[in-house]
Amino acid sequence: MATDFASFLGRFLTAYLAGLRGCSPNTITSYRDTFKLLIVFLRDERSIPPEKLTLERIDATVIAGFLDWLEASRHNSVSTRNQRLAAISSFFRWMQSQDPAHMARCQDILAIPAKKQPHPDVHHLSVDQTRRLLAQPDRSTQRGRRDATLLAALYDTAARVQELADLTVGDIRLEAPPLIALTGKGNKTRHVPLGDNTAALLNAYLGEYRLNGPGHDGDAVFVNQQGRKLSRGGIAWIIAKYQAMTHDPVLTDAELSPHVLRHSKAMHLYEAGVPLPYIRDILGHVDLSTTEIYARASTEAKRRALEAAYVDIVSDDLREWNRDPGLLNWLATL
């Protein structure tokens, strides 16, 4: 017979996360993995077998010990620790409405604070580095044209890599104004405008692969040699290949991933003066505070702001001391 914890956890992952909230498969997998680790911790460190694990045996002390174990034994980062805590907090927040008898226990667990961590650096490419990377594919070959179109679409839409991998022909509209529909976290769809050059590449690409006719709306846009849609790993491999081909030591040694291109587009938009709420909508962020990392990280925007504030105040006219009559007269009086 299933324990109360097993029953509630099953309902939480299926009926609540997948059904009521409509969370993406990746989000549900992340939550599931958190509870798998919690079960392993309780089995190995507290000698509680999974078949005897009940809600009464899980309290704030147990969760605090689990979080410490993640850092000490599994060498997880603070960010990963906080992510696991967020998943556990979501479960016990839901539990309060399911079984009020456990409300006090749930609230003790919900009171566990996330661990403070420094704001992470936003790794991004400069405009010139991005242009150099996107120019690497050999457009005289079919494979090169596919890769050039893929890189342009990934950068121009600031898509998450899974969003680009899932892109279908029906998600693209090339009539003016051209745009792409991206389905992201929580199965939420947003419409992102396309630049004219990216739209032209996509138009030529769909024509070359005969995807622009009727009956192809559900087909994947970017596929591998076997005709199956590219995976996240496949897209990352393509980026790494062209990164190595740049022969630019700064670019070659950079930490470059599909997400770095997403960061790069967001940073370039911010430094071009695009308001943060527009950037939030393009990126598909729920909260504007998530998008504000680009404002904190942009040294170029800070430089321009400082220059505007100090215009006509700070002068670069510096005289040599031995040619300053006032200073020489003052020195002579000493």
Instruction: Provide the annotated active-site residues.
Output: 160, 185, 259, 262, 285, 294
CB 251 within 8 Å of CB 131: no
Torsion of Cα atoms, 11 then 15 then 17 then 19, to 10°: 170
Contacts of 75 (CB under 8 A, 6+ apart): none
Alpha-carbon distance of 122 to 249, in angstroms, equals: 20
- Burial of 266 from C-beta contacts in 10 A (0-12 / 13-18 / 19+): buried
Alpha-carbon distance of 71 to 66, in angstroms, equals: 9
Tokens of 69: 């174990």
Torsion of Cα atoms, 199 then 231 then 187 then 172, to 10°: 20
Tokens of 25: 């498969």
Alpha-carbon distance of 224 to 3, in angstroms, equals: 46
CB 43 within 8 Å of CB 57: no
Stated as kind and residue range, the H or E segment containing 39 is helix 25-45
CB 277 within 8 Å of CB 304: no
